[in-house]
Structure 1
Amino acid sequence: MLKALLFAATTFTACKVSTPSGAGNHLYVQKEGREEKSWKLVWKDDFNGKALDTTKWTRIPPGKSDWNKHMSSHDDCYRLDNGLLYLRGIINPDTSVDKRPFITGGIWSKGKFAFQYGRIEIRAKLECARGAWPAMWMLAEQDKYGTYPRNGEIDIMEHLNHDSIIYQTTHSYYTLNLKQTGKPPHFGTARLNLLEFNTFGISWYPDRIVFQLNGQDTFTYPRVKDVDPSQWPYDQPFYILIDQQLGGNWVGKVNPTDLPVQMIVDWVKIYQ
């Protein structure tokens, strides 16, 4: 009964500030005029269950890009323990079928939850390793403007190797294809509390994306007038990706002796 009441309360709150739509009402579009009002919690996961909540998340499948070439659904890449989700980068324990030397864990909310405008906060601890590339980011749920990168990408946080900073970035056709990376600047960095839990997030408005770390604003990407319209594809619902990536052109080679490496996630909260 208590769970039912809590679910009803969350749903009621969400309906007041959002207009859920799509299959299973998984698209949370913030109502117009709410952007400068106080935030209300509309969706969260505390990872308190014994298994990953598959109504909210899916394990990210492998792909051919740098970021997902080691993604795996192997159970050794995932662990839930005492309210924490462990996403692990490990040496592949069995290369007889899967020839990849390393495998990694990651989750996304694609097809299950996406939101347009609001605040996302993710509390997590990042471990360090040579070749470790943990990331929290967002991609468009629907192809409103065409194929990638037309719909944009929002990188809430990326961390490389043993760095003491994180990168917070926007990518789009405007920045990648038209090379407009400085009009306005499309990324910033922020110093984190290395090896401690930090809260990573953005506050997303119709005219700007404000990146944050531990409740402090770190970098703002504004919507700009009188430029190519591809500068602002951020007017549609985006889903969430959280993954412990390994290796690639940006982060460099993996040092197997540094593995396993983990991103430990405490919770994810969405406000509108």
Structure 2
Amino acid sequence: MKWSDEFNTLALDQSKWVLEQGGGGWGNNELQNYTSSPDNAFINSSGNLVIKAIKQQLGSNAYTSARLITKGKQNFQYGRIDVRAKIPKGKGVWPAIWMLGADIDQNNWPKCGEIDIMELRGSRPMELISTMHYANSTGAYEYIGTTEKLTVDLSADFHTYSVVRSKNMTRFYLDGSAEPYYTFTGTSANPFPFNNPFFLILNVAVGATSTATRTARLPSPSKWKSITFAISSTSKKSQRRGQPLGVGNEPGMTRLPGNFPLARVGVVLSCGFLSAATPGNRNAYAIQPFAG
């Protein structure tokens, strides 16, 4: 076990997490103001972390939410991250599980690199977005990725989203499939940032312009009362089915007993995305990564 947080304390463990704060659009014309308020991020009686976006004026922003990062606390390099999640429907909600290069303060975005494990446009719950962001040799921003058009509504049930990082390669999987739905090697990324340590980010944004789609996503307030984002522990539905994703022998990886990679992160997560006047529906994030 390299790092874990089972959220079995009364408050968020600030030795593991940083609550980033602020509005200003976050480079995407986002409408929320991230806070450190326990209204937006808290641990509930079930031992889960809840991230909740609320229709609530704060400064020039009409909404509040939370953004949790492991920057300065824990970085992840080669290995596997698994997230079992139930995705919400609803125009304007933008949940994301993603990573940024740990050297972002020395090498500004996009040079530091960004790995979007899962992004979802709430109005399109049958589309899974995974994207890599980086700088080319001239320093210009580039991105490449995939929008997987599925035959299932991701909001209808839990699904497992996985990324495997090995030397010079990043692969993305859905529901423990034997083959990745997307593989990135990124020869145009120069210098290549994706062999470096990255930190983890969990957040729910509101509205915004998606980099991956270049389309504005404005919220539909009348629909918010039933929108939630839930991620359940991967241990509830074991990934130990045969050879897990075929990893363990690649350059930069260490083979572990049972063919498990050096680093795997299982996450329990859900976010209520509710009107400020709506009580209850406090669901949860909970992180339980593990490694050799």
TM-score (structure 2 length as normaliser): 0.67
Match of 2:15 in 1: 55
- Say which is worse superposed, 49-58 or 142-151, in terms of deviation: 142-151
Shift of 1:162: 2.8
Residues 58 and 108, structure 1, Cα contact 8 Å, conserved in 2: yes
> Structure 2 CA distance, aligned partners of 1:190 and 1:112?
35
Partner Cα distance (1:149, 1:162) in 2: 27
Query: Structure 2: 5+ residue runs without aligned partners?
Result: 211-215, 232-267, 269-285
Number of aligned pairs? 223
| Paired letter, 2:145 | H
Which residue matches 1:197? 158
Whether 1:171 aligns to 2:133 is yes
Could you tell me whether the CA contact under 8 Å between 1:138 and 1:153 is conserved in 2? Answer: yes
Paired position in structure 1 for 2:170: 209
* Whole-Å separation in 1 of the counterparts to 2:13 and 2:181: 31
CA deviations over 1:101-151 (Å, ceiling 9, x no partner): 111122111110112111112233222221000001100111487211111
1:229 aligns with 2:190: yes
Per the alignment, in what secondary structure is the counterpart of residue 36 of structure 2?
Answer: coil
Hey, what does 2:238 align to over in structure 1? none
**Separation of aligned partners in 2, 1:103 and 1:59:** 13
Q: CA deviation at 1:178?
A: 4.5
Distance of 2:131 and 2:43 partners within structure 1: 29
Q: State the distance in 2 between where 1:208 and 1:68 align.
A: 34
What amino acid sits opposite 1:146 in the alignment? N
Identical positions, percent: 25
Q: Tell whether 2:54 aligns with 1:76.
A: no
| Closer/same/farther in 2, CA of residues 180 and 51 from structure 1, 3 Å limit | closer
In the TM superposition, 1:18-37 aligns within 5 A as none
Counterparts of 1:59 and 1:144, CA distance in 2: 17
Is contact 2:129-2:145 (8 Å) kept?
A: no
- One-letter identity of the residue aligned with 1:253: L
Gapped runs of 5+ residues in structure 1? 1-9, 11-41
For residues 184 and 33 of structure 2, the distance between their equivalents in structure 1, rounded to whole angstroms, comes to 30
Corresponding residue SS for 2:123: coil
Q: What is the deviation of 1:270?
A: 4.5
Q: 1:86 aligns with which of 33, 50, 54?
A: 50
CA distance in 2, matches of 1:129, 1:236: 35
Q: d(CA) in 2 for partners of 1:246 and 1:180?
A: 24
Match of residue 4 from structure 2: 44
Deviations 1:171-207 (A, max 9, x none): 00139964765xxx53342636324222222100012
Q: Secondary structure at the match of 1:52?
A: coil
CA–CA distance in 1 between the matches of 2:59 and 2:140?
Answer: 38
**Cα gap change, 1:228/1:75 in structure 2, threshold over 3 Å: closer, same or farther?**
closer
Q: Would the aligned equivalents of 1:190 and 1:218 in 2 still touch at CA under 8 Å? A: no
Q: 1-side partners of 2:52 and 2:138: how far apart?
A: 30
* 2:95–2:204 Cα contact (<8 Å) kept: yes
3-state DSSP class of the match of 2:136?
Answer: helix
- Counterpart of 1:236, as a letter, is N
8 Å CA contact retained: 2:97, 2:116? yes
CA contact (8 A) 2:134 2:141 kept: no
2:237 counterpart of 1:271:
no
Closer/same/farther in 2, CA of residues 172 and 127 from structure 1, 3 Å limit: same
Higher helix share: 1
**Matched residues in 2 for 1:50 and 1:125: separation?**
25
Over aligned residues, Cα RMSD in angstroms? 2.7
